[in-house]
Amino acid sequence: MSVKRASLNFSVDRTKNGMSPKQKPSLPANRGFVLQLHAAAQPERGQWQGRVEHLLSAQVLHFQSLEELLNFIAQVLAEQQVDED
């Protein structure tokens, strides 16, 4: 039995995120969040509960409502904006 090896040919883009320095990513990492809904949450009925984490800062919120979730996201993004200025 012989094993045939496949060769992979690819080029590496040396620019950050494969973009020119003037372009900004459409989904920047500093705006990334992980959302985990509780098993009992029923968003379709307006019942939101779970956990959200901002990926860059690792800030975490356990929320009980959509309002808490959205306020957290807005607060973190506002803090990120201040840090960028």
- Each residue's pLDDT tens digit, 24-65: 899 999 999 999 999 999 999 999 999 999 999 999 999 999
- E-state strands within 5-71: 33-37, 50-54, 60-63
Query: Contact at 8 Å (CB) between 69 and 60?
Result: no
Mark out the alpha helices in 1-85 (DSSP H runs). 66-84
**Tokens standing for residue 63:** 């929320």
Nearest residue to 37 via CA among 55, 52, 59, 53: 52
- Each residue's pLDDT tens digit, 16-30: 556 566 788 999 999
What pTM value is reported for the model?
0.70
Query: Contact at 8 Å (CB) between 75 and 83?
Result: no
